[in-house]
Structures are given as C-alpha cells and as structure tokens.
Structure 1
C-alpha cells in the first residue's frame, strides 16, 4: 500500500511482473521451445535464472549465511544438476576413505581443519545420495548422545559418584547400556 501511495507500483504491476517471469522461465509451456524430460526443464530453468540474475556461476545464488549443512547440500544439488556428481554411493564411500586418509596425514591445525571440512562435504554428499537430510540426521544423533549421556549421569548418581571421578571405561559401559536400552525399546 505504501508503494502504491507513493506511486512506485501497485498490485497490477506486481502481478504483471510475476506473469512475465513465469512466461520467461517456462518457454517450453508458453513458447516454441520443446524439452524431452523433467531434467531438461530443470536445466533450462537454471540457465534462464542464471542469465536473468546475471550470475557468473550456478552457485552464486546460494547464501553464504545459510546453515552449513543446508548450504553444502544445496551446493551439491546444484553441481549435480550439471553432471558434477558421483554415480553411486560406493564411489562416495571411496571418496570419504580418501579424505580420512588425507586427514590422518595432515600435520597442522589448518590442514586438519581443511581435511575435516572435506570429510564433512563428502558425508553430506553421501546423505544426499541416500536421500537423508544431514541436518535432521545430526539433530537425531545429538538427541541420542544427550539421552545416553544422561543415562551415564543417572548411573553415576546411583553409585554416589561424580562423573569426574569415573574412569572412561566405566562411563563407556553405561553408554553401551543406554544403547542396549534404546535397542530393546525399539523392538
């Protein structure tokens, strides 16, 4: 309403702009262009969007401030649309092993950080191939960790011990106990 009052534009201008954009981005529907399949439509959509927004890369429109796992997934999906993708999960698992090897060989903190990031990227790629949301998977894994750790705390309290006084082996025993309880509750 404010822009209308200022004479900048009104609802008809907005509707006209949206219609023009729909027609421009769908020449296979509104124009002479023919496409073979859904993949061709999506590729054409990306090309037109890139041209329209004057982007130098198909990845330019992905916000850097997006949560890291979400951003990594989006980057990989866009790259995959143009053929930069592994064919199967075995190839990705090999890549993960390669990245772990490089991580083990890293000497400086900066190299470790670099290789750790590469491992995460490869894991996100595997999740994408398996149609697993890595953000959701990490949330669920964190919830399991919290639950298991709380079980350790409960067992320590039952034994009148402070966590700091317990050996790792004892805490690990209770961790495994918590995992067993989870498994039996699923059955």
Structure 2
C-alpha cells in the first residue's frame, strides 16, 4: 500500500495508522553501490548509487509531507546498513513479499499461516538493525514539490541535515521533484 492511500485512509477513518519502513541507509556508499549493481544485473538497467540514494531521500521526504496532510500517520524509518532484495509489507492481516520491480510476483501470507509470524519477525529484525528516524517537516505540502521555491529547497536541506542525512544543495531539487512523481512506490 502506498503512503497516499494510507494518508487517505487515516483521514477517512479518523484513526491513527502506524507505519514502520525499513530501507537501505542512503549514507552507506557500499550498500548504495551493491543495490545499484544488483538492479543493473536485472531487467531494470540504468541504476547508479546516486539514483538509489535519491529514491530513498525522496521516500523519506514523502513520508514527512504525507504526515503533514494526515497528522494521525505515525511514520518511522529504519536505515539499514545491510543489503536485502525482497520487499516485506506487514499489516495486521497479511504479509506481502515482493521483488524490487513493479509487477513482480507477490507472495501473500495470511495471519492464520504459521509462516506469518516468521516473516513478521524477519521484517522487524531487519528494522531493529538500522538507525531509526522520524521524518517531520511541518508546513511542506505535495503541491510545493514539483517546482520547489528556494525557500522550500532550503527547508528540505535543513530537514535532511537535522535527520543526520547530508544532502548536497544541488540534489535537493532532484529529491523534491522525484517525490512529486505520480509513480512513487513508497
């Protein structure tokens, strides 16, 4: 499920939704290179460590922006120092295990399966092995991102600096506009 759908669900239901996201640590050059190399050895060529880093920064920015639109979203990231290849999405009812490419097959494991708890443990052990951040950037909206002003870019740079995620000034616009794309898979 995507962040926009979770945002809409939180607003519609008026309830808190807790989201924990394990992702690769964008400051770890080895992990970024290993991920780009893996992606380039598959059907999705054109990956660089910088592209991987931009996507992760964009996902973190997206979380902060969607939290602004739905304050009942509780979003936390774990930045992992290790490489992994499967995406594990855990809910109270089902776990979805997918590959990295859009349209990859999905393994659905229902809560009643004896494998549910094992996959849940896998996800949370990965999560607990990383540095935790809670992205918050009050005032920023999705509408601010396709063509960010200098003030917005300055806010984005300060946001990432406060999280301990250095971002070069010339990359802030790339991260903002990347996040605004309609096909973000966060």
User: Which bracket does the TM-score occupy, shorter chain normalised?
Assistant: under 0.3
Q: Which has the higher contact order (CA 8 A, sep 6+)?
A: 2
Higher normalized strand content (fraction of residues):
2
TM-score, normalization by structure 1: 0.23
Higher normalized helix content (fraction of residues):
1
